[in-house]
Structure 1
Amino acid sequence: MIESLLIANRGEIARRVIRTANRLGIRTIAVHSEADTGLPFVLEADEAVNIGPANPAQSYRNAEAILAAAKSTGAQAIHPGYGFLSENADFARAVEANGLIWVGPPADAIAAMGDKINARNLMAEAGVPVAPGTHDPAATVEAAIEAAAAIGYPVMVKAAAGGGGMGMAVADDENGLRTEYDKVRAFAERMFGDGSVLIERYFPRVRHIEVQILGLADGRVIALSERECSVQRRNQKLVEEAPSPAVDPALRDRIKKAAVKAGEAVGYRNAGTVECLFDPATGDFFFLEMNTRLQVEHPITELIHGIDLVEQQLRVASGEPVTIPERTSGHAIELRVNAEDPKRFLPGPGTITTWVEPSGEGVRVDAGYTEGNVVTPFYDSLMAKLIVFGADRDEAIARARAAVAGFAIAGPKNNLPFFAELLENDEFLAGDYDTGIVSRMR
């Protein structure tokens, strides 16, 4: 087993990794920006290194500074968490070139899945269903218009190098495509350094279903149960639940088999997620993307399977065998508590003057902050993940309502009132909802 671990991330995911590492007797090293000096993950690590200013480009995305911190502290391995450098193939290669263990998939798998067009083509070759779309980048708006005419409107305009719901727009007709193509291309060049654009069929009423996979040290790829991720704003997730209320055993088997094919196609190792769009009207599902890292929503899979996914990541990276129970029990829901207003979902950072976490049976809080901390505008607005577990979906929802009511936050804006509203929404309660549920509530 790895003996010392540097966590190249911040906030709740850094605390999450530290918690498991401590239980396994692994020495932990935190790296942090100047803005994060007083956050809990810095204080809870065995050692902490300041790697630069608040700007992520000068700290959490500064590969040289992170590698220097690993060398100076004698770290044996690096866990990238999610976001920042977690899906950067060059960083993964640099970690291993420096004689360190990379707690993640092979760099080649990251690179293969990092480009949405390449990923689509690989998945199609492997027999994984993909939505109608372009096989090559639409190099000009005219090429995009020609592709859309063949695919049929509406279409999704996507940054090929994007991820996490960023760099995406819907076009209902040619005029809309001309506008959105230029916007997405410019955004992609600015954010990802790659202006390549993919055109794909847009499905207005679909569900977002994903499958947790784990590539083992012996070369096998296994699929755990699915997660439902259809409660989204701006194509970014707010609520997840497992298992999905839309998935029956036959569909679950089909999606899991497709997810295993996806992992095997790129020689996947460690934790990853295969994301799909599911059309309830036809029963068809399509590959969306593969996230080559640990997902934000991994706790709900942990709860229904009774496992620790971070521990499994560390075991795979150490070359150790893992034991994953295939059977699941109960129902889990995760609510992403963000520093944003609950109506328009605009960021609302500030100093936390009150922070009282809920407790009780089936309630778990993975938080990156506590009272007295400052939520700055430099990073993602996620403050905590409120996770609940029950014997069935009704019990999980009841516990979620009580936990939302018992979570007291003052200072920054927060979206707890939105969750209170969602947990009384007829569509959500029936389990018969899709990715448009938030817009219909607003």
Structure 2
Amino acid sequence: MMLLLSSILRRKPAVLLQVRLLSSYGPPPGTTSQQQRIEKILVANRGEIACRIMRTAKRLGIRTVAVYSDADKDSFHVKSADEAVHIGPPPARLSYLNGSSIVEAAVRTGAQAVHPGYGFLSESSEFAQLVEDRGLTFIGPPASAIRDMGDKSASKRIMGAAGVPLVPGYHGSEQDVEIMRLEADKIGYPILIKPTHGGGGKGMRIVQSPNEFVDSFLGAQREAAASFGINTILLEKYITQPRHIEVQIFGDKFGNVLHLYERDCSVQRRHQKIIEEAPAPCVTDEFRTHLGQAAVSAAKAVGYHNAGTVEFIVDTKTGHFYFMEMNTRLQVEHPVTEMIVGQDLVEWQIRVANGEPLPISQGQVPLSGQAFTHGIELCHSCDVLFEFISKENINYFGHAFEARIYAENVLKGFLPATGVLHHYQPVPPSSTGNLFMLIHLRRILYSGCFLPAMLATLQFDIFYPILQLERVERNRIISTSHSHLSTSKPVSFIPLFASLFLLVLSFFYLTVRVETGVEQGDVVSMHYDPMIAKLVVWGENRAAALVKLKDCLLKFQVAGVPTNINFLQNLANHKAFEEGNVETHFIEHHKDDLFVDPNNKVIYEDAFSAARLGAKLVAACLCEKERSAMKESHSGDPSLLPIWYTHPPFRVNHHAQRTMEFEWENEYESSSSKPLMLSITYHPDGNYFIQIGENGAHILEVKASNLGNDNFIVEADGLTMNISLAVYTKGQIKHIHIWHGPHHLHFRQKLGLDLSDEDETQHKTSFETTSHPPGTVVAPMAGLVVKVLVEDGAKVEAGQPVLVLEAMKMEHVVKATSGGVVEGLKVGAGQQVSDGSVLFRVKVSHFEFGFWN
């Protein structure tokens, strides 16, 4: 160990790369920019990205200003800012898309710069120009680049002129539906309809045949207008088996552009990414090089600076890649790039906007095998270390995944969900200390890069002065030698101290981070994107990162709204995903494995068996929690404790008894859920004996220990397990969630029906399924009625669209469930409806059975 430490700490002659202080703002010496240091930033966004930007700004000593709508007045991003300004009502077009109000807020609060985040106005050239016109700094690319590349039709023409491969399509300005239909016929079906502005899959439609084109085109226009304020559309030939691979690029105002390698974002639903990873699996170094060069060329063609992402479609049949679009902003999935290159991209954005050059060159961002060659040069002291680690067994930068946690109903086609986050406990950030990480940290320090993004998430402010001292010393050596190559050993203990510090620091280097903009008790609103959080993990290779992703998904707890966590677990555990065999139709092609068939009796019985066990564990934990609370409350007078046994729900004897009734909230088929009546017997030795029903086939002996905060250690059937509960009340129903092992179960309990056995004979079923007359159609989600397509009393056919709902900027067409006559259609355009509310009824007429001509 001492030999290893001495090797790490020993300084050797090597190439010295110019660095700059973390604390120094403004252009470095030798540049001509007269821009002043940014001291206050207005973040023109909400949610997790606003919090993400504010965290980096705070670390850099920059004050932040939040903007918020009526729906966000108590939100987490408002609490995270130094100041906050109200900008309007909940609809985005009246608040977060109101550029003039946002700029006025920046001027009024004295902010020198505006960061747009992603979404909303981040790709609006008009907004960027408005910011610049008011004398403020736009933390993003120039308005001209946003205009050229943000308009997907214009960007296709520019890329075509530059020789970048393009998918066949129509990128013209004509938007008449009939002309567009003729263009689609020329291209050939299937066709991809896509808005020329914006992103996130909003407004995109895949059209398989000509008779679907008009409705799909008009729907895409409406959705694009609602999301981005512009309804122009382009058409492309739809590649049937594509991969979605994108390249992170960065440019400064001095003409330097580099790429930070690629991300694979192929696994999508509704054309929106849900799991991203970097680097892309199953990609050769040659392919990676060509892809990166094409992305840099695309950026240079429009004079690009700041962060951007060039997206490519890769045809898995031919291996060819095609330019798809360029996102002129920071991407949602940027953390996976940060994890593998050890950079804070938000800090890069701020520094570039402030007039500084890029901190490193392309050659200083090696990947995989390249890192070994550069690592020897950059680490200065890796003799023993590199002998200890085999080149064949290490991917130098490791691998990272990001899983997006959404409030959505997976079995309803991933429809967005709304509600209160009654329980929200994301997996805690974690770190690791190992030789691999130590090399990575030394490389980052000595290559002249800024501090790793992972440290920024922990806000270890005490660490920065130490690294600054190290960089001051290195700059002194550089300025003394007047050369980038030093052959003399520096006489200083500061670098030695920094190296020792890095050894300790490697144990704090985050390998799990959660980017979120919510906290427990917040409301997921119908007005905005339903993303709750982004779970980001890092591992030394893809397999290690995937293991960590699976483990963290199991530990991620959300209750109050339906989420996609279980679905993400299914994705991460799928064999094809484990092998890296991904493409954009992954979910559709593997739907039989990813979705549970409610008609599969074997699967249902297994699930119901797990629910019965879960109900017993819940009963034991709830009883133990109540018993512990009662015992604690009467600790001063032990004579009062027997009262708990002498009144319902427990009786006066050695084996106190009670009953509980739960209903399992079956995520697969709610109509098949059954009430579960549990009989609980408490023994003086502290154990509970629990059975379901009077003639329960199995009595489970459970010993539960309350750890506080609804966490328990439970012993049952010879097994010891950790259990977490979340309990909350909605109306007259108590909701109980339990997490144990790989299971997350949801039970309901009607208030006032916790019975002693004397009352059991008078008990009646407490859960009644809400029933509606046949043909009744209810709202599949809370949303806004944007269009009513038929009148009350109209004759419709099965599957015919009746109205269109919009929630979280996504449209959903509500169709007739059968042929007949529409009755009770009372809603109109502009009206908000709640999830499950009755929209209309289709009355089946005798004419449907052959009497109608």
| TM-score normalised by the chain length of structure 2 | 0.50
Provide Cα deviations, 1:170-199, integer angstroms capped at 9, x if missing partner: 222322334433433454455555443322
Provide Cα deviations, 1:55-95, integer angstroms capped at 9, x if missing partner: 22222112222122111211010001011111111111111
Q: Which residue of 1 aligns with 2:520?
A: 371
Task: Number of aligned residue pairs: give it.
Answer: 442
Q: Which residue of 2 aligns with 1:263?
A: 299
Do the aligned partners of 1:127 and 1:261 also contact (CA within 8 Å) in 2?
no
- Structure-2 change in CA distance of 1:101 and 1:172 (3 Å): same
Q: Which residue of 1 aligns with 2:250?
A: 214
Q: CA separation in 1, counterparts of 2:228 and 2:90?
A: 20
Q: What amino acid sits opposite 2:588 in the alignment? A: S
Q: Which residue of 2 aligns with 1:44?
A: 80
Q: Which residue of 2 aligns with 1:430?
A: 579
Q: What amino acid sits opposite 2:213 in the alignment? A: L
Q: CA separation in 1, counterparts of 2:46 and 2:551?
A: 29
Measured after TM superposition, the shift of residue 403 of structure 1 is 0.5
Provide Cα deviations, 1:97-127, integer angstroms capped at 9, x if missing partner: 1111100000111111222211111111112
Q: Which residue of 2 aligns with 1:7?
A: 43
Q: Which residue of 2 aligns with 1:313?
A: 349
Q: What amino acid sits opposite 1:428 in the alignment? A: F
1:121 to 147, 157, 163: 157
1:196-215 alignment runs, 5 A limit? 196-215=232-251
Measured after TM superposition, the shift of residue 382 of structure 1 is 0.9
1:341 to 400, 406, 409: 409
Provide Cα deviations, 1:117-167, integer angstroms capped at 9, x if missing partner: 111111111121110112424544443344334433222122233432122
- Whether 1:243 aligns to 2:279 is yes
Q: CA separation in 1, counterparts of 2:404 and 2:549?
A: 12
Q: CA separation in 1, counterparts of 2:68 and 2:218?
A: 36
- Which deviates further from its counterpart, 3-12 or 166-175? 166-175
- Which deviates further from its counterpart, 59-68 or 135-144? 135-144
- Which deviates further from its counterpart, 7-16 or 112-121? 112-121
- Which deviates further from its counterpart, 427-436 or 341-350? 341-350
- Structure-2 change in CA distance of 1:434 and 1:79 (3 Å): same
Q: Which residue of 2 aligns with 1:383?
A: 532
- Whether 1:20 aligns to 2:56 is yes
1:140-219 alignment runs, 5 A limit? 140-188=176-224, 191-219=227-255
Provide Cα deviations, 1:185-224, integer angstroms capped at 9, x if missing partner: 4544555554433221101110000001111121122111
1:227 to 241, 259, 263: 263
Do the aligned partners of 1:342 and 1:417 also contact (CA within 8 Å) in 2?
no
Measured after TM superposition, the shift of residue 297 of structure 1 is 0.2
Q: CA separation in 1, counterparts of 2:214 and 2:94?
A: 35
Q: CA separation in 1, counterparts of 2:294 and 2:206?
A: 26
1:98 to 117, 120, 134: 134
Measured after TM superposition, the shift of residue 255 of structure 1 is 0.9
Q: What amino acid sits opposite 2:414 in the alignment? A: F
- Structure-2 change in CA distance of 1:135 and 1:408 (3 Å): closer
Measured after TM superposition, the shift of residue 332 of structure 1 is 0.3
Measured after TM superposition, the shift of residue 336 of structure 1 is 0.6
2:568 to 413, 419, 435: 419
Q: Which residue of 1 aligns with 2:289?
A: 253
Q: Which residue of 2 aligns with 1:327?
A: 366
Measured after TM superposition, the shift of residue 398 of structure 1 is 0.4
1:354 to 394, 419, 423: 423
Q: Which residue of 1 aligns with 2:325?
A: 289
Measured after TM superposition, the shift of residue 372 of structure 1 is 1.6
- Structure-2 change in CA distance of 1:72 and 1:265 (3 Å): same
Measured after TM superposition, the shift of residue 6 of structure 1 is 0.8
- Which structure exhibits the higher relative contact order, with contacts defined as CA atoms closer than 8 Å and separated by 6 or more residues? 1
- Structure-2 change in CA distance of 1:51 and 1:183 (3 Å): closer
Q: What amino acid sits opposite 1:376 in the alignment? A: S
Measured after TM superposition, the shift of residue 334 of structure 1 is 0.2
Do the aligned partners of 2:123 and 2:198 also contact (CA within 8 Å) in 1?
no
Q: CA separation in 2, counterparts of 1:314 and 1:172?
A: 44
Do the aligned partners of 2:538 and 2:545 also contact (CA within 8 Å) in 1?
yes
Do the aligned partners of 2:171 and 2:235 also contact (CA within 8 Å) in 1?
no
Q: CA separation in 1, counterparts of 2:172 and 2:101?
A: 36
Q: CA separation in 1, counterparts of 2:558 and 2:119?
A: 25
Q: What amino acid sits opposite 2:241 in the alignment? A: R
Q: What amino acid sits opposite 2:365 in the alignment? A: E
Do the aligned partners of 1:90 and 1:107 also contact (CA within 8 Å) in 2?
yes
Provide Cα deviations, 1:359-418, integer angstroms capped at 9, x if missing partner: 333211011111121111111101110000000011111000110011111112211111
Measured after TM superposition, the shift of residue 8 of structure 1 is 0.7
Q: CA separation in 2, counterparts of 1:56 and 1:186?
A: 15
Instruction: Give me the CA root mean square deviation.
Output: 1.7
Q: CA separation in 1, counterparts of 2:225 and 2:97?
A: 17
Q: CA separation in 2, counterparts of 1:200 and 1:251?
A: 24
Do the aligned partners of 1:232 and 1:438 also contact (CA within 8 Å) in 2?
yes
- Which deviates further from its counterpart, 286-295 or 137-146? 137-146
- Structure-2 change in CA distance of 1:187 and 1:38 (3 Å): closer
- Which deviates further from its counterpart, 187-196 or 281-290? 187-196
- Which deviates further from its counterpart, 342-351 or 207-216? 342-351
Provide Cα deviations, 1:28-48, integer angstroms capped at 9, x if missing partner: 111112221222221121112
Question: What's the secondary structure of 2:159's corresponding residue?
Answer: helix
Percent of aligned pairs with the same amino acid: 47
Q: CA separation in 2, counterparts of 1:179 and 1:29?
A: 42
